Structure 1
Amino acid sequence: MVFKGKLIIQIFLILSISICTLCQILFPELPTQRLDSDRTEERVPLYAPNKCPENQLYYPGNQKHDWICDCGPTYIYYPPKDFCYPAYRQGPCKDGEHLIVRGGDVIPSCNKNPCEEGFARYKGNCYEMGKPNGPCLPIQQGGGIFDVNATTLVVECLKGTDRLSLLTLPKFCMPGSKRDSNGNCRVIYN
């Protein structure tokens, strides 16, 4: 009887795994967050590769079951290509150009980049993006990282080490890893 019970459990597991290969899997940015809340401020964006195109996250809408795909932080939707590209990078533009949204515009455009790829002009000089210091004071002195502000889509010195500055998304571990007691993500081995 015990053998028969174990066999049934094994068959159930095999069938579950087989069926689940057809499932769409969503990864919440914060695993402890409830996603079935009526209040959208309690719902967080999801990385949903089976639902959203590349460079997009699955954002909560205004209704309980309303979710939409939209560009991730610091990415710009470019209508002619129907794709999200990183701001201040070449993206769909010609060599020597980068994709930006000019002040007052809502449609991004390709503009001459006076700096090399990965660098942006700030107060008359070119600085590497995503790096501390550059035009910014050292982090220890209250400075920050020179990068794209996720809210304004303008390059600036972002305070602290959080590149997203005004937009704060919860930290998460990659699929297949788990946060340890020291707050570090570690790969889970079976």
Structure 2
Amino acid sequence: MSVTVKWGTERLSFALPAPSTPLSHVRKALSDYTHLDAFKLIYNGAILKDDDTPISAYRIHANSTLQLIPITAAPQPQPQLQPVSATEAAVVTQIQAEVASVRQNLTPDLNRILQTQVSDKKDELRVGELLLQALLRIDGISPERSWDQARAERKAAVKEIQSLLDILDAHKAKSAAARR
């Protein structure tokens, strides 16, 4: 009997420990496997916080699915974007600022990852999560239908950031295939 742990795009299967096993033992096993120092575990929408509590108290049972969310130790500062203004120029500036931040802060990290021979899962995960966050911020900007320039900038930004995510995913798949 086992439990499934979702970690990004991966699905990990672990043997279900005894119901009296404290959560700290599950965390330790996951940490040893993933090489992550800090992460959140989520089950049925709740964050599992108390490591001394037995897994039975969280109602974890055979065929349960846990979500593992890594916590990055030193998140890169992201520019504070102003609330969407009522002008097209302000929206275009907001989109351009987000793309410039990705180019300045994340593209060099992505290039470094692509050039290394040994994959660093933590770094790949961190860069992937930050790219996804940038993509979600761009997606949250909704220019009015009549703002053709803002809509075109948004579309180009989404394509650029998505292409970086695609490149990272292809690199991760290639690294995983090489390890087999």
How high is the TM-score relative to the length of structure 1? Answer: 0.26
The structure that is strand-richer by fraction is 1
| Structure with more contact order per residue of length (Cα contacts < 8 Å, sep ≥ 6) | 2
User: Which protein has the larger Cα radius of gyration, Structure 1 or Structure 2?
Assistant: 1
How high is the TM-score relative to the length of structure 2? Answer: 0.27
